[in-house]
């Protein structure tokens, strides 16, 4: 399965079965996405491959360790390697073709925006923080 940033300068490919998507509602993810949450997959490093544009990626990190990587041309968030080097955080919206997975968890729901209420009535699990069960697929 292929994915890319908005302008197509950064491209990547995922192999194997995809893990479930999680939606993070924390304030940092809201700012990075410009939305109510950030939808992502945690993909094992062995199932991720850059295809082009890796040298077009810029990075921003907060003192707390939160990291955002993005295309230097269009500003789209792009996959980034986890601190332990074992997996990639992949924004679900970057996938270029339909994917056969779905949202299985809402995380950091206690810090959601007060207007972010649409997900509250769905049947998806909700967590105050990131549960250890969300691991690379």
pLDDT, tens digit (0-9, with 9 covering 90-100), for 17-68: 999 999 999 999 999 899 999 999 999 999 999 999 999 999 999 998 889 9
**What is the residue range of 35's domain?**
2-126
> In this predicted model, what pLDDT tens digit does every residue of 106-118 receive, in sequence order?
999 999 999 998 8
More reliable by pLDDT, 82 or 14: 14
| Mean pLDDT computed over every residue of the chain | 92
Residue 137 within a domain:
no
**Domain presence at residue 88:** yes
Tell me whether residue 136 is in a domain: no
Residue 18 covered by a domain: yes
The distance from CA 58 to its chain's CA centroid, rounded to whole angstroms, is 16
| CATH number of the structural domain spanning residue 20 | 2.170.150.70
Q: Residue 58: name the closest of 77, 33, 35 by CA.
A: 77
Helix (H) or strand (E) run with residue 58 in it: strand 57-61
pTM for this entry: 0.89
**How many domains does the structure of the chain reveal?**
1
């Amino acid at each position: 399965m292929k994915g890319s940033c908005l302008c197509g300068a950064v491209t990547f490919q995922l192999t194997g079965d995809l893990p479930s998507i999680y939606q993070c509602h924390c304030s940092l993810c809201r700012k990075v996405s410009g939305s109510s949450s950030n939808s992502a997959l945690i993909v094992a490093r062995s199932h991720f491959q850059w295809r082009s544009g890796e040298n077009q990626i810029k990075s921003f990190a907060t003192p707390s360790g939160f990291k955002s990587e993005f295309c230097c041309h269009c500003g789209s968030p792009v996959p980034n390697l986890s601190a332990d080097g074992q997996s990639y955080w992949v924004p679900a919206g970057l996938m270029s073709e339909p994917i056969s997975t779905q949202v299985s968890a809402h995380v950091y729901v206690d810090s959601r925006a007060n207007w972010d209420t649409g997900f509250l009535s769905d049947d998806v699990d909700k967590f105050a923080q990131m549960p250890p069960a969300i691991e690379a697929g």
